[in-house]
């Protein structure tokens, strides 16, 4: 099994949830695994998409108060 890739995927998901930038972890990890540059780009985009939806769903309560804020 590819344990380094699995660990990189979990770390990238956590990093993406906290501050963004998950592809900074997944792209080099997949390049080191021997992929061409196109495959890691597509893979990291598709793999991190569910975390973006989850973060948006979990953060919706924080965005409710933004409508009444002053600019």
What is the model's pLDDT at position 1? 56
How many CA atoms lie within 13 Å of 66's alpha carbon, on the beta-carbon side? 6
Cite the beta strand spans of the chain per DSSP E. none
pLDDT tens for 36-46 read 888 888 877 78
pLDDT tens for 8-65 read 888 887 887 788 788 888 888 888 888 888 888 887 778 778 877 887 888 777 776 6
What is the model's pLDDT at position 70? 58
Question: 3-state class of 20 per DSSP?
Answer: coil
- End-to-end, the C-alpha distance of the chain in Å comes to 51
Q: What is the pTM of this model?
A: 0.60
Q: Where are the domains of the chain?
A: 3-57
């Amino acid at each position: 099994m590819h344990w380094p890739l699995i660990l990189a995927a979990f770390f990238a998901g956590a990093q993406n949830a906290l501050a963004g930038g998950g592809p900074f972890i997944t792209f080099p990890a997949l390049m080191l695994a021997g992929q061409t540059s196109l495959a890691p780009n597509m893979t990291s985009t598709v793999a991190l998409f569910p975390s973006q939806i989850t973060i948006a769903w979990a953060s919706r309560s924080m965005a409710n108060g933004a409508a009444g804020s002053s600019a």
